[in-house]
């Protein structure tokens, strides 16, 4: 398990640091898995404006008045229709939603094979990179400010709750054995702007408390993604310039950097090393987002790109088979395998990108949930780990019910405990979306919405709802 992921042992996950290193706050070392995290433009916003109605060309006057026509005058030509706003790519929205669900499932069950079946983080960084490249048609500083503005307020709400819980449980950052004193206070700044790893205690509270004593590690774990996202956003103007000048070297350079810093050839100690490794591992996916937006992938014959991607993925699996981590085939513990597998996987996904304006066929019934998850991606990602742990004290209340006093009933609940956690975490996520999700709207300078699933209310006294696909 890496990047703040729980190892998925169900009720009592034992987190580890990125790529096999321990987390910050652990006696043995330091910690290391969008402003929207995906970088998506908000629903209802048009980032590029709309083309205006063309001007009518006046008829040329003649010196002599024209004779009166004997036939009926031709009807006036209809005005040219206004250009449509660029719609959201629902295929990319669907991929982002799948990635978020996969992250929640992985953190709950800890199935290592999920990192192979669907490398969520690589997909999310690629989608964010594509949207960032699209936004950089505008001045770079304004785009960066907008992305950072969307990212920070939801994080501040999360950090305020988590820090309050830690302080109430007696945590003092100046007493941390690894980051104590003044440096411990300075690093609290990472809860305001995630340029590095925030401090937190490895153990806090009691093992018999409502939450397990490693809850702070689990809660703060997802913040690594916000740090990496912020680094990519700041670096994007330079990366996009380099990509346009030298596309292939820029595209493949992160894989080469991962081969250096992610395999032990060059070791960068501490949190700086973790941040550089994350940047290298997912840098290829971010630049693939540039390639998708710029149309580079479409200019390559599909059989060529898919064949090359398959070879890169095969190398990733081969490398993983010889460098298995503590959780076996969990690619989050194997940087070079994660980088190459995610790179090839994303190439194939983007090569077959159908650019849907609407979800087709049976997928259409998921339209509202896809829209909601994209509008609340930051909220879902930030809070899901803490909400997974919150399911435990709720489910434990069931043991007190009168009909649960037999050994058979207790055994049945024990055997299905993680299933109940899975069933309960989604309503809790929904409640958190209602409670704090609107902060994402304020951060994007939109009117706050409680449940932005793309449904609009029709005019009239009765609040009849109708589904509508929001435009960018």
| pLDDT for the residue 209 | 76
Distances (CA, A) of 338 to 98, 283, 287, 372, 384: 18, 12, 16, 29, 23
Beta-carbon contacts of 152 under 8 Å, excluding residues fewer than 6 positions away, are 35, 192, 193, 443
pTM for this entry:
0.81
Phi and psi, residue 455, nearest 5° = -90, 130
Report the pLDDT value the prediction gives residue 463, as an integer from 0 to 100.
41
Cα-Cα end-to-end distance for the chain: 36
Would you state the pLDDT for residue 31? 36
d(CA 143, CA 137): 9
Contact 432, 379 (CB under 8 A): yes
- The alpha carbon dihedral of 358, 359, 365, 370 has a sign of negative
Q: What does pLDDT average to in each consecutive run of 10 residues of the chain (472 residues)? A: 41 38 38 42 38 35 42 47 63 97 97 97 98 96 97 97 94 77 84 92 83 91 95 98 97 97 92 94 98 95 96 98 95 97 98 92 96 98 96 94 92 96 98 98 96 73 39 38
Residue 268: how many CB atoms within 10 A of its CB? 13
Q: Which residue has the tokens 């980088």?
A: 339
Q: Would you state the pLDDT for residue 455?
A: 87
Cβ atoms 33, 150 nearer than 8 A? no
């Amino acid at each position: 398990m890496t990047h703040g992921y729980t190892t998925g042992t169900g009720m009592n996950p034992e987190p580890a640091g990125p790529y096999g290193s321990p987390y910050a706050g652990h006696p043995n070392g330091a910690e290391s898995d969008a402003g929207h995290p995906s970088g998506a433009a908000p629903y209802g916003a048009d980032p590029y404006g709309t083309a205006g109605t063309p001007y009518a060309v006046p008829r040329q006057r003649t010196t002599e008045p024209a004779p009166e026509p004997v036939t009926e005058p031709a009807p006036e030509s209809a005005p040219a229709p206004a250009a449509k706003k660029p719609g959201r790519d629902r295929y990319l929205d669907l991929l982002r939603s799948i990635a978020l669900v996969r992250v929640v499932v992985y953190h709950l069950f800890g199935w290592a094979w999920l990192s192979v079946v669907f490398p969520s983080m690589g997909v999310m960084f690629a989608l964010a990179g594509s949207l960032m490249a699209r936004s950089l048609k505008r001045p770079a500083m304004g785009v960066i400010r907008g992305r950072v503005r969307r990212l920070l307020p939801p994080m501040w709400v999360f950090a305020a709750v988590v820090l309050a819980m830690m302080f109430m449980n007696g945590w003092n950052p100046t007493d941390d054995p690894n980051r104590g004193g003044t440096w411990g206070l300075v690093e609290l700044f990472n809860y305001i702007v995630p340029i590095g790893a925030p401090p937190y205690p490895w153990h806090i509270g009691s093992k018999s408390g409502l939450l397990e004593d490693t809850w702070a590690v689990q809660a703060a774990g997802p913040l690594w993604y916000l740090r990496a996202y912020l680094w990519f956003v700041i670096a994007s103007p330079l990366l996009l310039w380099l990509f346009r000048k030298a596309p292939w070297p820029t595209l493949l350079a992160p894989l080469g950097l991962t081969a250096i810093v992610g395999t032990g050839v060059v070791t960068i100690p501490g949190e700086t090393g973790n941040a550089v490794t994350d940047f290298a591992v997912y840098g290829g996916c971010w630049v693939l987002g540039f390639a998708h937006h710029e149309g580079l992938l479409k200019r390559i014959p599909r059989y060529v790109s898919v064949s090359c991607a398959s070879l890169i993925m095969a190398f990733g699996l081969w490398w993983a088979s010889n460098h298995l981590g503590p959780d076996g085939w969990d690619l989050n513990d194997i940087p070079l395998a994660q980088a190459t597998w995610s790179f090839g996987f994303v190439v194939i996904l983007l090569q077959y990108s159908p650019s849907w304006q609407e979800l087709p066929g049976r997928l259409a019934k998921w339209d509202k949930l896809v829209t909601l998850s994209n509008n609340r991606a930051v909220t879902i990602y930030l809070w899901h780990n803490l909400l997974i742990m919150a399911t435990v004290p709720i489910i434990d209340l069931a043991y007190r019910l009168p009909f649960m006093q037999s050994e058979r009933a207790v055994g049945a609940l024990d055997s299905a405990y993680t299933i109940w956690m899975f069933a309960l975490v989604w309503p809790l996520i929904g409640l958190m979306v209602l409670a704090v999700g609107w902060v994402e709207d304020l951060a994007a300078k939109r009117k706050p919405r409680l449940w932005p699933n793309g449904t609009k209310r029709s005019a009239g006294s009765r609040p009849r709802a109708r589904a509508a696909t929001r435009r960018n």
